[in-house]
Structure 1
Amino acid sequence: MARARVPPQGARRVPPRVSAGLLLYRRRPHLEVFLAHPGGPLWVSRDAGAWTIPKGRIEAGEDPLDTARREFNEETGFTVDGEFLPLRPVVQGGGKVVHAWAIEGDCDPSRLRSNLFTLEWPPRSGRLQQFPEVDRGAWFRADEAMTRVLAGQVPLIRQLLAYASDLGL
């Protein structure tokens, strides 16, 4: 019989990584969602299962919806406003908790402007390079979006579909 692992006396529990983001959607005539493709060399050849809602880490004392709005703007250059529909949080692989809100809106992916991050690339080369946090964005019909988005975020799209169905969208 397996025994439960007990942390050593005085050990600190590491809080889960928590982020917040926005699931932007539009009706054309079918429901479409806006997803972002992560930038940088680790994601360049990945597509299916690699896209994400624009999101980021919640800073200490920051309101999660404020985080979601800030991160959406930082990663896309777009500002959205309107009625934010809270979705149930999801847990991605690795334990990251994602809080998300759906909001109806529109944007032109060709106008996306992302913030940058610095990474040593190639690894152990001593060369620091900057890459966009998001290298592109796109609109997808909900069924296709579920094949493109990270597996842990599929439930967010399903929640949006259920909401849309309830409202007859």
Structure 2
Amino acid sequence: MAGKRSAGLLLFRGSGAAVEVLLAHMGGPLWARRDAGAWSVPKGEYVPPEEAWDAARREFEEELGLPPPDGRYVPLGDIRQSGGKVVTVWAVESDLDPDRIVPGTFEMEWPRGSGATRAFPEIDRVAWCAPEEAAERMVAGQRVFLERLAAHLQGKAPE
């Protein structure tokens, strides 16, 4: 069986030293008390034949409860995370008010072994971060997307 695939959108705003990116803090009890390494590009899994582009836009809306922004989308390529999942991301310049998000939910047994199923938000908050702060907060395997965005904004071809 092919590995899991995920796709998402990395919003950015500002220019030069004032650039910020929008990250999502993963929801649910396993991430509640974590900050470093608990933030991600808003993204989600998909299964071909769905295309990564369509999945990125669908997942943005499912996770944030808002339609994906209009604008010029910049492909940032894909990476393989340590767990084997392939993540594909596009960047788009947009300004989103974090107070407007209405996160989607997922269900899981909690507490584990209790037999009780509870609903949790897919993401519990979003925040605008400078790239340095974003690199500290986000899942290590996704940091390359920050580098690729910076290269794009500096007019360089992505590596």
What's the TM-score bracket when you normalise by the shorter of the two chains?
Answer: over 0.9
C-alpha distance in 1 between matches for 2:26 and 2:96: 18
Aligned partner letter, 1:158: E
The answer to whether the 8 A contact 1:78-1:107 is kept is no
Q: 2:86 aligns with which of 86, 90, 97?
A: 97
Partner of 1:4: none
The percentage of aligned residue pairs carrying the same residue is: 48
* 1:95 counterpart SS class: coil
Q: Is 1:16 aligned to residue 25 of structure 2?
A: no
In the TM superposition, what is the alpha-carbon distance from 1:59 to its structure 2 partner? 2.7
What is the count of residue pairs matched by the alignment? 154
Larger Rg: 1
Q: Is 1:151 aligned to residue 152 of structure 2?
A: no
C-alpha distance in 2 between matches for 1:121 and 1:163: 42
Partner of 1:116: 105
> TM-score with structure 1 length normalisation?
0.87
- Which runs of no fewer than 5 residues in structure 1 stay unpaired? 1-13
Deviations, residues 36-75 of structure 1 (Å, cap 9, x unaligned): 0011000001101110011111233112111101101111
C-alpha distance in 1 between matches for 2:146 and 2:35: 17
In the TM superposition, what is the alpha-carbon distance from 1:137 to its structure 2 partner? 0.3
Which stretches of structure 1, 4 residues or longer, exceed 3 Å deviation after superposition?
A: none
C-alpha distance in 1 between matches for 2:145 and 2:46: 18
Q: 1:55 aligns with which of 35, 40, 43?
A: 43
In the TM superposition, what is the alpha-carbon distance from 1:139 to its structure 2 partner? 0.2
Q: How does 1:2-81 map to 2 (within 5 A)?
A: 14-27=1-14, 30-79=18-67, 80-81=69-70
* 2:47 counterpart SS class: coil
The answer to whether the 8 A contact 2:5-2:47 is kept is no
> TM-score with structure 2 length normalisation?
0.93
The answer to whether the 8 A contact 2:37-2:138 is kept is yes
| Cα RMSD (Å) | 1.2
- Which runs of no fewer than 5 residues in structure 2 stay unpaired? none
* 2:106 counterpart SS class: strand
* 1:166 counterpart SS class: coil
Does 137-146 or 76-85 show the bigger shift?
A: 76-85
